[in-house]
Amino acid sequence: MEKVKLHAEGHTHFDRHLAIRSCETILNTYGFLEDFKMFSDLAINMVVELPASKVASLLHALNSTDFLVIDHVTGEEKLPTAILNRQDVHLYFNLSFVHHEPDFHKEVWSQP
């Protein structure tokens, strides 16, 4: 049976290393961190597999922290059926880092 897919987006103003470690701890409490991709110092995408019955608790735990805000969740309408069928869920979580440092990029000078 195919896993239900949910997408969540959040942001943080905290140090990205601290935020990633804290998120990892919370995510591993409710499910299994299957994969992640870092995008410079701007964002990280994580894929978490967990039982559908734990999704609401996970999102509540993430949103209850003092360092993270969940901005948007899509696919929640699929949860009641997934819970009844005891399905697992893939949660694709994108965490953006808001900071006051310049991003990793080089300035390109104009040619005369």
pLDDT tens figures, 36-88:
998 877 889 999 999 989 999 999 998 888 888 888 898 888 888 888 888 89
pTM for this structure?
A: 0.80
Q: What is the pLDDT of residue 63?
A: 87
Q: Considering Cα of 27, then 29, then 35, then 41, what sign does the dihedral take? A: positive
* Spans of all domains in the chain: 11-71+95-100
Element (H, E) at 57: helix 55-63
Amino acid residing at 86: R
Q: What is the pLDDT of residue 99?
A: 72
Average pLDDT value for residue range 3-27: 89
C-alpha to C-alpha distances, 91 to 9, 44, 94, nearest whole angstrom: 10, 13, 10
Give residue 14's pLDDT band: very low, low, confident or very high (50, 70, 90).
confident
